[in-house]
Amino acid sequence: MNTSVWWQWYFNPGLLLLVAGLAAAYYWLAGGRWQARGGVYFAGLTLFALAELSPLHYLGMHALFSAHMVVHIVVLLLSGPLLVLGLPPQPVPAAARGLARFSGWLRGHEWLAWGAGVGIMWGLHVPAVFDASFTAMHNVFSPLPMLHAGAMLLAGALFSWPLFGPVPAQHLHPLAGVGYLFTACVACSLLGLLLTFAPADTYQHYARASWCGTASLAPDYATNAWGLSLADDQQLAGLIMWVPCCFIYLSGCVFLLARYFGAEQETVSAAALVG
């Protein structure tokens, strides 16, 4: 990798404000004190900041579709859920009431959370939407990067809320949660398949980037500084969407099944002791 890439940090003011606002939100929710699972919350926030501000963002913006896909997966499937898992278990009273009301409303509307998590992944990869968003995000002072990243983070948090929200009584039944995650895995696998086998110039943003300095080469064979052709890079992006995404979803399924069977075993053990 070109060593100059390591210096390409993306200090968009809107994104910096978003990160600072999320950090401040934790301390307000927690009443100004560190609570259990705070490390989980800030791990999610750190991953979000690294994905959106580090050279990985630069690579995804200017050179590699595969790098951009890694950013999407980190924000949507890791950062969002970690922020939900790390919410303070004893929030201030006003926040506790709000979180309880929201969790109660979402119970029975889980399809909205599922649609947000899966829909934004599909929507952002519609070629016309994808290319238009890049055109608007090149200005470092544009608010669009904050809106783009914030929407993904919000969708990831909303998707995970019925499974890991702060009110356990409002969680989906573990077996229903398995179906919830498995269907999301299928939806993202289909998107990954489409990206893997789509024509190499489907996303004109990367097609134009590949042609820079290689105008004499056909798009399928034009290579970038990392030795990846346009087709290779798009196929790698599709595989990243396909395999790691499903691994994350299926890991969640295993966790829910373990929780379900663990609870069943505890129930049986308690009944045996009573008997």
Q: Is the dihedral of CA 158, 150, 77, 263 positive or negative?
A: negative
Confidence of residue 265 (pLDDT cuts 50, 70, 90): low
Name which of 66, 48, 38, 64 is nearest 10 in CA terms.
48
Q: What is the DSSP letter of 4?
A: G
The proportion of the chain whose per-residue pLDDT surpasses 70, expressed as a percent, equals: 85
Asked whether residue 73 carries a pLDDT value surpassing 90, the answer given is yes
What is the mean pLDDT of the segment spanning 144-155?
90
Q: Return the minimum-mean-pLDDT range out of 30-34, 65-69, 82-86, 218-222.
A: 218-222
Instruction: Please state, in angstroms and rounded to a whole number, the distance separating the CA atoms of residues 185 and 191.
Output: 10
3-state helix, strand, coil in the chain (%, to 5): 75, 0, 25
The proportion of the chain whose per-residue pLDDT surpasses 90, expressed as a percent, equals: 60
The model's pTM is: 0.86
| For the chain, domain boundaries | 3-274
Per-residue pLDDT of 174-185, as tens digits, reads 999 999 999 999
Per-residue pLDDT of 249-260, as tens digits, reads 999 999 899 988
Question: Can you spell out the DSSP letters for 199-247?
Answer: -TTSSHHHHHHHHTT-TTS-TTT-B-TTS-BHHHHHHHHHHHHHHHHHH
Name which of 208, 181, 192, 201 is nearest 242 in CA terms.
192
SS3 label, residue 124: coil
Model pLDDT, residue 153? 96
Contacts of 240 (CB under 8 A, 6+ apart): 66, 69, 70, 73, 192
Per-residue pLDDT of 192-225, as tens digits, reads 999 999 988 888 888 776 544 343 333 444 556 6
Instruction: Please state, in angstroms and rounded to a whole number, the distance separating the CA atoms of residues 165 and 8.
Output: 36
Task: Please classify residue 169 by burial: count the beta carbons closer than 10 Å to its beta carbon, then call 0-12 exposed, 13-18 middle and 19+ buried.
Answer: exposed
Confidence of residue 228 (pLDDT cuts 50, 70, 90): confident
Instruction: Please state, in angstroms and rounded to a whole number, the distance separating the CA atoms of residues 83 and 205.
Output: 31
Residue with tokens 């994104």: 15
Q: Which amino acid is it at 33?
A: R
Confidence of residue 272 (pLDDT cuts 50, 70, 90): very low
